[in-house]
């Protein structure tokens, strides 16, 4: 068995693992990343791209912000439309200056991978059978296979950044874990195309035909989504059918600007809210999708991963700079407070913006009654300045919590 050593073993090279690794390395805290897939596979996954200020600042602190700052677009507002009527939420004005940055998660991941490779930091791609051990002890280790050989990585801490289907969460004994879950009765059909966006800001559109989102990657690349029944297959949707349906759901003045073209990719994703509590077990910490999933309405998935990273980074920095380990136990509570806020916002936006048909699962209400409540809810929030402020404050992201002394 080959033997390795690092202060922190990081499982998973998604944005959580890569960002944590980069931040720790800059503080001189050694880390090794173990990733099940190839780097190209990780970069091939299409993901959202709205970054909160806190995330953007963290990327700057990690020293990998050059391309994000040059190519990312600052969005000072977002459009929420209600049955054809567009309402602009002026994020900057309503929050007293906060904005979001539109820059693809895939690009952030690429920037982090390149920085890691340039700094010659150790990463094992295509690592098989990754398994943490003895995480309750002060000498945890992780075993894995790489190119047919068995490895043992000894470490002080294990960061489980291995996404929803990873091994880390399963390492916490079932009797200690509580998992909260809501699976929604519809999915999102996403389409990527090399066409200019129909509007300079994102449009979240509620309509009688179901929800639609107009998003973007650049001045020449658009990303659009349609709410679809879970029984639909991608093959049921020709490009033409997608564009036709999108036009009907967007406000008419923006639908008129829609530039159509061939799709580069189409896929259907289910919508889920999920939280695992606690987010730590001894010296194992769950970070990002390993601990929580949000529906994409509200763009919080990546941003919640970033606040977990920020909290763990502060804790590990304090541990190695001062030798004081007492702050370790703060991780789960601090991370979960912000996670639940993001979960609640995403759940609320999902409830307000989608058509629930006849589903009977919301506080025992039948779907149509629930839909009426949510129509009224959206109408109230969009029509009141206080309501728009509530949406804006959460869309740009709540502040990160500091460690206690």
- Residues of this chain that interact with ligand PHB (CB under 6 A) are 48-50, 202, 213, 215, 223, 296-299
Q: What's the rounded Cα separation, in Å, for the pair 235 and 8?
A: 44
Output the smallest distance, CB 363 to ligand PHB, in A.
25
Cβ contact 353:298 at 8 Å: no
> Does 110 help bind ligand APR (rule: CB under 6 A)?
no
What the block records as the tokens of 246 is: 């999108």
Binding mask 22-61 for ligand APR (x = CB under 6 A): ------------xxxx----x----xx-------------
What the block records as the tokens of 65 is: 């912000």
Q: What's the rounded Cα separation, in Å, for the pair 289 and 301?
A: 8
Active-site annotation holds for 296: yes
Q: What is the 3-state secondary structure (H, E, C) of the chain?
A: CEEEECCEEEECCCHHHHHHHHHHHHCCCCEEEECCCCHHHHHHCCCCCEECHHHHHHHHHCCCCHHHHHHCEEECEEEEEECCEEEEEEHHHHHCCCCEEECCHHHHHHHHHHHHHHCCCCEECCCEEEEEECCCCCCCEEEEEECCEEEEEECCEEEECCCCCCCHHHHCCCCCCEEEEEEEEEEEEEEEECCCCCCCCCEEEECCCCCEEEEEEECCEEEEEEEECCCCCHHHCCHHHHHHHHHHHCCHHHHCCCCCCCEEEEEEEEEEEEEEECCEECCEEECHHHCEECCCCCCCHHHHHHHHHHHHHHHHHHHHHHCCCHHHHHHHHHHHHHHHHHHHHHHHHHHHHCCCCCCCCECCECHHHHHHHHHHHHHHHHHCHHHHHHHHHHHHCCCCCCCCC
Q: Which is nearer to ligand APR, 42 or 228 (CB)?
A: 42
Active-site annotation holds for 281: no
Q: Which is nearer to ligand PHB, 74 or 117 (CB)?
A: 74
Active-site annotation holds for 399: no
Q: Which is nearer to ligand PHB, 67 or 318 (CB)?
A: 67
Active-site annotation holds for 400: no
Of the candidates 103, 151, 204, 225, the residue annotated as catalytic is 204
Residue from 108, 213, 305, 374 touching ligand APR (CB under 6 A): that is: 305
> Does 166 help bind ligand APR (rule: CB under 6 A)?
yes
Length of the chain: 405
Active-site annotation holds for 224: no
Q: Which is nearer to ligand APR, 78 or 279 (CB)?
A: 279
> Does 397 help bind ligand APR (rule: CB under 6 A)?
no
> Does 288 help bind ligand APR (rule: CB under 6 A)?
yes
> Does 301 help bind ligand APR (rule: CB under 6 A)?
yes
Q: Which is nearer to ligand PHB, 150 or 269 (CB)?
A: 269
> Does 354 help bind ligand APR (rule: CB under 6 A)?
no
Q: Could you identify the residue written with the tokens 């190119």?
A: 147
With CB atoms as reference, the residue minimizing the distance to ligand PHB is: 215
Output the smallest distance, CB 245 to ligand PHB, in A.
18
Q: Which is nearer to ligand APR, 35 or 277 (CB)?
A: 35
Q: Residue 301 binds which one of ligand PHB, ligand APR, none, with CB within 5 to 8 A depending on kind?
A: ligand APR
Q: Which is nearer to ligand APR, 255 or 336 (CB)?
A: 336
| Angle in degrees, CA 293, 165, 56, rounded to 5 | 45
Q: Could you identify the residue written with the tokens 């999708």?
A: 289
Region of 14-22, 132-140, 259-267, 326-334 interacting with ligand APR (CB under 6 A): 14-22
Binding mask 88-107 for ligand APR (x = CB under 6 A): -----------------x--
The size of the interface with ligand APR (CB under 6 A), counted in residues, is 28
> Does 14 help bind ligand APR (rule: CB under 6 A)?
yes
Output the smallest distance, CB 321 to ligand APR, in A.
25
Of the candidates 15, 75, 184, 206, the residue annotated as catalytic is 75
- Residues of the shown chain interacting with ligand APR in the complex, contacts defined by CB under 6 A: 11-17, 34-37, 42, 47-48, 105, 127, 130, 161-163, 165-167, 288-289, 301-302, 305
Residue positions annotated with a catalytic role: 75, 204, 296, 300, 395
């Amino acid at each position: 068995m080959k033997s390795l050593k690092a202060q922190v073993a990081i499982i998973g090279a998604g944005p959580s693992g890569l960002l944590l690794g980069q931040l720790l390395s800059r503080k001189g805290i050694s880390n090794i990343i173990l990733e099940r897939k190839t780097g190209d596979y990780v970069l091939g996954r299409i993901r959202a791209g709205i970054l909160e200020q806190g995330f953007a600042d963290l990327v700057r602190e990690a020293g990998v912000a050059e391309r994000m700052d040059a190519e990312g677009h600052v969005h000072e507002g977002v459009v929420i439309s209600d049955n054809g009527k567009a309402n602009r939420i002026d994020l900057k004005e309503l929050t007293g200056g906060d904005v979001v940055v539109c820059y693809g998660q895939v690009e952030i991941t690429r920037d982090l991978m390149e920085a890691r490779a340039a700094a010659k930091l150790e990463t094992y791609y295509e690592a098989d059978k990754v398994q943490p051990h003895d995480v309750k002890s002060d000498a945890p280790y992780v075993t894995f296979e790489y190119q047919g050989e068995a490895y043992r990585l000894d470490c002080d801490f294990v960061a489980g950044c291995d996404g929803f289907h990873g091994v880390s969460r399963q390492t916490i004994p079932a009797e200690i874990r509580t998992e909260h879950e809501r699976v929604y009765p519809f999915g999102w059909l996403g389409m990527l195309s090399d066409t200019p966006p129909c509007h300079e800001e994102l449009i979240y559109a509620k309509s009688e035909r179901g929800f639609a989102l107009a998003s973007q990657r650049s001045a020449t690349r658009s990303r659009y989504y349609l709410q679809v029944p879970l029984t639909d297959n991608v093959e049921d949707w020709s490009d033409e059918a997608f564009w036709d349906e999108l036009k009907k759901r967007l406000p008419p003045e923006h639908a008129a600007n829609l530039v159509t073209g061939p799709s580069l990719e189409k896929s259907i994703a289910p919508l889920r809210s999920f939280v695992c509590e606690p987010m730590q077990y001894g010296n194992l910490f769950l970070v990002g999708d390993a601990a929580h999933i949000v529906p994409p309405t509200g763009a919080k998935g990546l941003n919640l991963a970033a606040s977990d990273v920020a909290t763990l980074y502060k804790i590990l920095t304090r541990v190695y700079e001062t030798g004081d380990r007492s702050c370790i136990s703060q991780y789960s509570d601090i991370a979960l407070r912000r996670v639940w806020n993001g979960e609640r916002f995403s759940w609320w936006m999902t409830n307000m913006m989608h058509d629930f048909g006849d589903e009977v699962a919301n506080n025992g209400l039948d779907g149509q009654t629930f839909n009426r409540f949510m129509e009224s809810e959206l109408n109230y929030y969009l029509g009141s300045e206080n309501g728009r402020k509530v949406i804006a404050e959460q869309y740009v992201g709540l502040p990160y919590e500091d460690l206690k002394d």
